[in-house]
């Protein structure tokens, strides 16, 4: 849960007075709040934690990290279904 994942801003729109973006995390798209990185623009990479961008990141290191996370299955862990994961833990001995 402390994980922060880099993603690329696809589009920016205002919702209820808040700057929100559609962000691509290696194929997974999520709505992300941009209020804390007011200078971020479409095409920029940002570090996202629980739906909030907390810093900008350069493209190369963002892509390296994403490739790494994908290889290790971390994206699935972060964006997968948290409830079924807990159910699996409760029922299936690892």
**Where does this chain bind another protein (CB under 8 A)?**
1-4, 16-18, 30-31, 33, 35-38, 47, 49-52, 54-55, 57-58, 61, 64-65, 67-68, 71-72, 77, 79, 81-83, 85-87, 89-94
Cβ at position 42, least distance to another protein in Å: 19
Nearer to another protein, 10 or 31 (CB): 31
Helix, strand and coil content of the chain, in percent to the nearest 5, comes to 30, 40, 30
Q: Strand pairing of 45-49 and 18-25?
A: unpaired
Distance CA 51, CA 31 (A): 7
């Amino acid at each position: 849960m402390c994980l922060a994942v880099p993603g690329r801003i696809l589009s920016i729109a205002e919702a209820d007075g808040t700057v929100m973006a559609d962000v691509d995390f290696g194929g997974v798209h999520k709505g992300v709040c941009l209020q804390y990185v007011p200078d971020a623009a479409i095409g920029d990479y940002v570090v996202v934690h629980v739906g909030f961008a907390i810093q900008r990141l350069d493209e190369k290191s963002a892509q390296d990290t994403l490739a790494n996370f994908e290889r290790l299955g971390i994206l699935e862990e972060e964006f997968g279904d948290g409830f079924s994961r807990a159910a699996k833990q409760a029922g299936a001995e690892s």
